[in-house]
Amino acid sequence: MNLRSNEPFWLLKNGLITSYPSLKSNEECDVLIVGGGITGSLIAHQMVMEGYKTILIDKREICNGSTSATTSMLQYEIDIPLSELIMKVGKKGALRSYKACSDAIDKIEKLSKEIKSGSGFKRKKSLYYASNKKDSQWLKKEFEARKSAGFDVKWLEAEEIEDRFGFEKTFGGILSKQGASIDAFKFSHELLKLNIKGGLQIFDKTEMNKVEYYKGFNLVTVDSGFQIKAKKMIYCIGYESKNLIKENFVNLKSTYALVSEIDKKKFKNIINTLVWNTDKPYMYMRTTDDGRLLIGGGDEDFYDAGKRDALLNKKEKEILRILKKIKPDYNFYTDFIWAGTFGETKDGLPYIGEHKNFKNSYFVLGFGGNGITFSVTGMEMASFFMKRKKHPLSRYFKFGR
């Protein structure tokens, strides 16, 4: 599967940070991580910290899947509003899931400080505005639900949004204190490089082709024919898990992102804020640390990469029309545009846990708009799984739920 079109901003901005060798011998390990995007990087870090002999493989160059295409907004807000998630999974599960995403932002900040990351982690507020009058009614209820759950939120009327952010024609919105942005591509590279010192072995351009199951270990054959004997496997293969797992557990969508030319003055009102709205599909935007506006949306069902990428020009116009509505005086000059694939689940929650058809194995699949924060939550969950401990989120994130 082709996960993205050719020009994601992060890949062009950072270039090829580090290239790793492919597998050229048979190896053994405690944990084999399949997939070297942000999820695999975080999980590898956790495993190395806990002293497991860990190998990570990726069939592409490292971080060249969805992680190079992401807009990297770190939000505690799941695609499904809290009030709706409560109806779907119950109050306990909904609150735990929202709280986990909130904690994940703190955790990624701590980690980025610990590793002295240069990936521009920045704390931001998050503005979720109503695009029309009807949406404003349920959004106010959503505000109440979040407030009573203890989240630091404020309701802003349309005039306040205009005064603070210069956005016209909104119908009020929720301003949340918790949020952040990062360059996930760079962060993952940094994390992986650091863990090599702790013994992590990384092989890129190494595709897992076959898995044989034995008592207490799996034997994995890669495309070059070499084998890895692993006591446990952790699949961090993102949306390509759809090719591996038979049941229909995720709907693939295409999403589109544009990055403007640099203009530090023009975006000064929102440099400290993530912005998204109640449109279906929703529009999302943030600034980059080099002074650009990154704006995305236009989600469509994914059929194939060709059809997805053929819509780039149409989607650019569609997304910029939404921006024009709230910022009529503003001309957006596109520097980069790309399309990426992501996955939507029935409840907006990820799949993290065991699957009955895959012995000695766990999956960490952060789906939806909050993929990255879910992957951070996956670190603690994977740690619990390895110790055969039950995690309080397992029942909400498990397969077959």
Ligand X SMILES: Cc1cc2nc3c(=O)[nH]c(=O)nc-3n(C[C@H](O)[C@H](O)[C@H](O)COP(=O)(O)OP(=O)(O)OC[C@H]3O[C@@H](n4cnc5c(N)ncnc54)[C@H](O)[C@@H]3O)c2cc1C
Residue ranges that bind ligand X, judged by CB under 6 A: 3, 34-40, 57-60, 64-67, 69-73, 207-208, 236-238, 240, 255, 257, 296, 340, 342, 366, 369-373, 375
Rounded Cα distance between 137 and 240, Å, is 38
Rounded Cα distance between 389 and 187, Å, is 29
Beta carbon nearer to ligand X, 98 or 171: 98
Beta carbon nearer to ligand X, 39 or 178: 39
CB of 265 to ligand X, least distance (A): 24
The encoded tokens of residue 3 equal 């996960």
Looking at residue 266, what DSSP letter applies?
T
CB of 192 to ligand X, least distance (A): 11
CB of 235 to ligand X, least distance (A): 8
Q: State the residue number with the nearest CB to ligand X.
A: 371
Indicate the SS3 state at residue 248: coil
Beta carbon nearer to ligand X, 69 or 82: 69
Rounded Cα distance between 179 and 177, Å, is 6
CB 202 within 8 A of CB 185: no
Rounded Cα distance between 193 and 204, Å, is 13
CB of 137 to ligand X, least distance (A): 27
CB of 204 to ligand X, least distance (A): 9
CB of 396 to ligand X, least distance (A): 18
Helix axes 91-114, 82-89, angle to 10 degrees: 120
CB of 144 to ligand X, least distance (A): 25
Indicate the SS3 state at residue 297: strand
CB of 233 to ligand X, least distance (A): 11
Helix (H), strand (E) counts: the chain? 11, 19
Dump strand ranges (E) for 147-250: 153-156, 173-176, 180-181, 201-203, 208-214, 217-222, 227-235
CB 101 within 8 A of CB 373: yes
* CA distances from residue 177 to 100, 154, 180, 276, 314 in whole angstroms, order as listed: 16, 8, 10, 14, 34
Q: What are the backbone angles phi and psi of residue 18, rounded to the nearest 5°?
A: -145, 140
Strand 227-235 and strand 27-34: the pairing is parallel
Beta carbon nearer to ligand X, 60 or 231: 60
Radius of gyration of the chain (CA): 21
CB 255 within 8 A of CB 301: no
Beta carbon nearer to ligand X, 95 or 364: 364
